[in-house]
Amino acid sequence: MRHVSYLAVLLTLMATFAALAGDGVMTEIASARQACAKALHAGGEDWLGWQRGGPGYDAFHYWRADGKKPAILSITRQLGEMAREEINYCFRADGKLVFIQTLTSAGNAAEGRDHGRPLSREGKIYLGPDGTVLKVTGVILDDRQRPHALGNAQWIVPAICEELPLYATTEEVERTLTAELGDAYGARPAFKPVALDWCGKAVMP
């Protein structure tokens, strides 16, 4: 029976170490998020990318890391005629993606007394140092910032939840810029990042 006790202790220790490692990663992600939020708030006109108007709206703003702030990417895209989505990407010092936040703003499409009231669909994606998607949360926030499930019938975004382009590294962001704007020689080698169905993976925060 003693070997059973040893096995139980070993399994407990392994679970404890895994939990501690997970806590460490989430702490690192939280720290990176804070730095990226500060850099995004500071903004600046030194971004690379584009900003285009109608018939839809399309913006791609990329700020390279400079030793004082991390690399960040902010994309804005029109979803149909009634909703607009902003997606912010945060990168680690080694250029790997650490966090994504998406926020789609619109008026409530559900019939009834709350029709037309402002709402937003918010998603958060957390990634480990190896690029693994660790956690995905999603929620509908009404005009009082009260949370509702993504598929609820009372608060509805008038646009489908589209897949996100998953820029795993800053290198992939740079390749996207080259594909869209061209390199020093005018060449535009095709590149498209993989897509992430975040709504299909999301849980309530």
108-161 pLDDT, tens digit per residue, is 999 999 999 999 999 999 999 999 999 999 999 999 999 999 999 999 999 999
| Structure-model confidence comparison of residues 52 and 144, the more confident one | 144
Residue 6, pLDDT score: 43
Q: How far apart are CA 39 and CA 24, in angstroms?
A: 23
The pLDDT of residue 98: 96
Q: Is 28 helix (H, G, I), strand (E, B) or coil?
A: helix
| pLDDT reading at 5 higher than 60 | no
- Residues 12 and 75: their CA atoms lie apart, in Å, by 44
In this structure, what DSSP letter does residue 196 have? E
| C-alpha span between 138 and 161 (Å, rounded) | 11
pLDDT of residue 44: 87
> Stretch 4-27: mean pLDDT, rounded?
49
d(CA 32, CA 25): 11
Rounded Cα–Cα distance for residues 19 and 10 (Å) = 14
Mind listing the pLDDT tens digit for each residue in 53-101? 766 688 999 999 998 899 999 999 988 888 999 999 999 999 999 999 9
pLDDT of residue 20 exceeding 80, the answer is no
Of the pLDDT bands very low, low, confident and very high (cuts 50, 70, 90), residue 14 is very low
- Which pLDDT score is estimated for 55? 63
Higher per-residue pLDDT: 43 or 99: 99
- pLDDT value at residue 79: 85
What the block records as the tokens of 183 is 């390199």
| Pairing outcome for strands 164-165 and 147-148 | unpaired
**Which amino acid is it at 105?**
S
Token pair listed for 27: 């702490």
Rounded to 5 degrees, what angle do the CA atoms 31, 36, 37 make? 100
